[in-house]
Amino acid sequence: MTLIPLPSFLFEPLVRAALAEDLGRAGDLTTDAIVPRDLTAKTVLVARQPGVVAGLDVAGAAFRLMDPEVKVVVDKPDGSKVAAGAIIASVSGRAHALLTAERVALNFLCHLSGIATVTAGIVEAVKEHKAQIVCTRKTTPGLRTLEKYAVRAGGGGNHRFGLDDAVLIKDNHIAIAGGIRPALERARAGVGHMVKIELEVDTLAQLEEALALGVDAVLLDNMSPDELRIAVSMVKGRALTEASGRVTAATAPAIAASGVDLISIGWLTHSAPTLDIGLDYATEEETPFAEA
């Protein structure tokens, strides 16, 4: 799968807001007092632990918004696996800008690389099977586009970006509608012919009813691997099968072995630990700052 870069208009407003939050009312008091405006520095982004990189364009935007003349040279592009100690990119320019933007740049880069890293781990765990690992809408408010991009950087895929992507009829929809049939009938009557309809089922009996009525995809929620195997045999390719619930790197292989098409995992985006990445300062003279 080719990783398509995000256009800058999707993330620059987020970066501007993060910088404004950090700079507050009076700017960077520490750097303003210590670092002359005419000094330059070369820095390197270094992985402190092994993982998968994601978010370099976003991190670069933080530096360039502080100084458009900052130069970022990428050694390990998004989607790259890196070892501990690997140089990911070099960032050079006015030291004042580099220091002021450092934390915002690393906050984005470490968070998104953490998502890419855990995604890659799950993808590796199920590589012997056809199941694709996908994320969900359980994302940080305001960061959904970036977090879903990070999942792709880790080799995964995306579920819905929002409520307007497709119809996903969940248990509460079914309960309020009065059953699977009325929920499906109302959904079909309310959307156009191009909109896919997926139905969440908790039991094999519900699955049987859904298949009789016809759906594009079924979300098999919290089913055991044995139940999933039965469900896949019942579907017989008539709909996409998606497994969800309590998926970990340890349980994912058994779930994938059931033959499901998709495995959706919310914690990829809402609970992934950050990847430890640091910004190290060095010039050709091995000192923090050099004259501009």
According to DSSP, the β-strands at 71-74 and 217-221 are unpaired
Reply yes or no on whether 170 is catalytic.
yes
Q: Which of the following is catalytic: 28, 102, 221, 261?
A: 221
Reply yes or no on whether 138 is catalytic.
yes
Q: Which of the following is catalytic: 170, 185, 208, 238?
A: 170
Reply yes or no on whether 221 is catalytic.
yes
Reply yes or no on whether 200 is catalytic.
yes
Whole-number Å distance between alpha carbons of 263 and 221: 10
Reply yes or no on whether 94 is catalytic.
no
Structure tokens at 246: 């309590």
Q: Which of the following is catalytic: 103, 144, 188, 196?
A: 103
Q: Which of the following is catalytic: 28, 200, 242, 261?
A: 200
Q: Which of the following is catalytic: 12, 22, 81, 138?
A: 138
The DSSP secondary structure of 81-138, one letter per residue, reads EE-TT-EEEEEEEEHHHHHHHHHHHHHHHHHHHHHHHHHHHHHHHTTTSSPEEE--S-
C-alpha gyration radius of the chain: 23
Whole-number Å distance between alpha carbons of 172 and 236: 27
Catalytic residues: 103, 138, 170, 200, 221
